[in-house]
Amino acid sequence: MARPGFVLTVDDRTPPLLVSEGDGVRLQPFPKGAEVVYPPDTAGRRVDAAAAVAASLAEGLDGAPLADRLRPGIRLTVTVGALEQPAARGVDVRQHVVEQVLQLAATAGVDDVVVLAANGIGPRPTEEQLLEVLGERVVRSFSADGRLRTHDALDREQLTEVAPGVELDARLADSDLVVDVSCGTGGSDVGADLVGSLSSLDTQRRLHRALRLDRVVPTAGAEVEGEGAAMVRSAVEALPLVSVRAVLDQVVHPPSLEFLGRREWEWRIRERATWFGLRRLLEVAPDRARRSVLQAAPDQGVLAVAAGSPAAVSAWSAGRAAGAERVEVKGQADVLVCGVPHRTPINPGTAVDPLVAAWSVLGRTLGATTGAPVVRPGGAVIAFHPLAPTFSARVHPSSADFFVDVLSTTTDPEQMTEQEARFAADEWYTSLYRRQHAWAGVLPFQLWADVRAGAEQVGDVIWVGADRASAERMGFRAASTLADALEIASDSVGRSPRIRYLHTPPHLVADVQEA
């Protein structure tokens, strides 16, 4: 049964609370009086995915069914995004959407169809991933003659300008209809997601910076459009676009560990025994084995599906997210405590390295609010992660070089322009992105820009259990325990701070109201 999120005040009866720390997890006692924000439990709201997809395609948010836009002779492109989202057990909702769109196209006599994996500057999906997301029938039918392909942000022959300064995959501009398919647990600006995941590297870099500045330096008045929003709008208006978005529930742990997503006092005796076994396993298992356990696919379900214009679907998605992720809290805290999830959009199947950990906390969790930040300006952020300088040479090949060579000279993103240009043009990083399954070389620069934007909102950033050298390299501080971290933070927040712990994953959005 679905349950709303809530805020718990720690007292003498509160057990130690679960804290994720990347490739590990712990039970952590919290000081009496600390606030613990639990996300909503949405598992009880699931719908039949195939039926929900069919209904959304038959009656879009804008009124017209998709079938009315299909006719013989048109060029149809189906883009598949959210590739960082793990495939569902059984049939993935994206497979349902793609298969039903292709069936409608076949019925209408549409022959020119391409399925395009929208990976942006992220790794090219492997054949196994494509089979998990799209199913064998689509992959086998469309791969044989090149009608299933992956976007390449560096392939100049496959890129074209669709609006001033906005280059996208040329297939989009050549299409009479583009159906964009995505899924996720919360709200999404589907237009921005599409542009970011199907643009040239130069466009993606400009868009990332512009959207970040739109958030950090809001324009004066709601009627004034930021540069990032203008780029997205101009691109979307240039395309014959229909968006299909599926909202998923908040189940993020594999079936054997689903109890980790419940409140700690609800754990049964058998689950407590499983917890002790898990802790022992994580202590002795090698890194890959730990990740295979913690990042195993969850039994995630579909809450709703909608189709329509990008603006309509984005608004609908935001409304659905209000019930799926939003939790109301009173006032801003002096100290924000948070963990680092085992799996983020940046590291499926790989380690949570220091850059990904910092981005998860300061670039993602800290910014997940409806308005006012969850922690006051000048407050402290305390996060749990070892910050071991271990990077995936296969998936994040440029991150280790960035961490060692760039951060040793400066932590100011504005002073990294030349290094970013060099990484963007590096032949080795380019080859790994285009020929293997790696992120483009600019990834760490974009992560770090988000990290610094978040860090500038607060005073101290302290990592519990972290490698001190790694923390210092990033301009942060390290502590052995939560008590030590609070002692370090006391210089700026005092001896009796208001402490708030965001109990994630699952992801939540804090709706900060006046105290």
Whether residue 283 is found in the same domain as residue 351: no
Q: Quote the pLDDT of residue 200.
A: 97
Q: What is the 3-state secondary structure (H, E, C) of 198-255?
A: CECHHHHHHHHHHHHHHHHCCCCCCCCCCHHHHHHHHHHHCCCEEEEEEEECCCCCCH
Tokens of 406: 């760039």
Range of the domain at 264: 253-297
Whether residue 244 is found in the same domain as residue 262: no
Report the domain count for the chain: 3
Whether residue 241 is found in the same domain as residue 269: no
Q: Quote the pLDDT of residue 440.
A: 98
Q: What is the CATH number of the domain that holds 10?
A: 3.90.226.30
Q: Quote the pLDDT of residue 190.
A: 93
Q: Quote the pLDDT of residue 181.
A: 97
314 in a domain, yes or no? Answer: no
Whether residue 280 is found in the same domain as residue 358: no
Whether residue 205 is found in the same domain as residue 279: no
Best CA proximity match to 369, nearest among 213, 223, 183, 507: 507
Q: What is the CATH number of the domain that holds 244?
A: 3.40.50.11440
- Predicted confidence pLDDT, tens digits, the chain (515 residues): 468 889 999 999 999 999 999 999 999 999 999 999 999 886 667 899 999 999 999 999 987 899 999 999 999 999 999 999 888 888 999 999 999 999 999 999 999 999 999 999 999 999 999 999 999 999 999 998 999 999 999 999 999 999 999 999 999 999 999 999 999 887 789 999 999 999 999 999 999 999 988 876 544 445 567 999 999 999 999 999 999 999 998 888 999 999 998 899 999 999 999 999 999 999 999 988 999 999 998 888 999 999 999 999 999 998 887 777 889 999 999 999 999 999 999 998 899 999 999 999 999 999 888 888 999 999 999 999 999 999 999 999 999 999 999 999 999 999 999 999 999 999 999 999 999 999 999 999 999 999 999 999 999 999 999 999 999 999 999 999 999 999 999 999 999 999 999 999 888 899 999 87
Whether residue 11 is found in the same domain as residue 85: no
Whether residue 366 is found in the same domain as residue 291: no
Q: Quote the pLDDT of residue 61.
A: 94
Q: Quote the pLDDT of residue 217.
A: 52
Chain position carrying tokens 């910014």: 367
Whether residue 159 is found in the same domain as residue 280: no
Q: Quote the pLDDT of residue 2.
A: 65
Other CB atoms within a 10 A radius of the CB of residue 354 amount to: 28
Q: Quote the pLDDT of residue 328.
A: 93
Q: State the virtual CA torsion across 297, 384, 33, 331 in degrees, nearest 10.
A: -80
319 in a domain, yes or no? Answer: no
Q: Quote the pLDDT of residue 348.
A: 87
Whether residue 273 is found in the same domain as residue 381: no
- CA-to-CA separations, 167 to 155, 162, 265, 274, in angstroms, rounded: 11, 6, 52, 51
Q: Quote the pLDDT of residue 220.
A: 44
State the Cα–Cα distance between residues 348 and 278, nearest whole angstrom: 20
Q: Quote the pLDDT of residue 287.
A: 87
Whether residue 217 is found in the same domain as residue 339: no
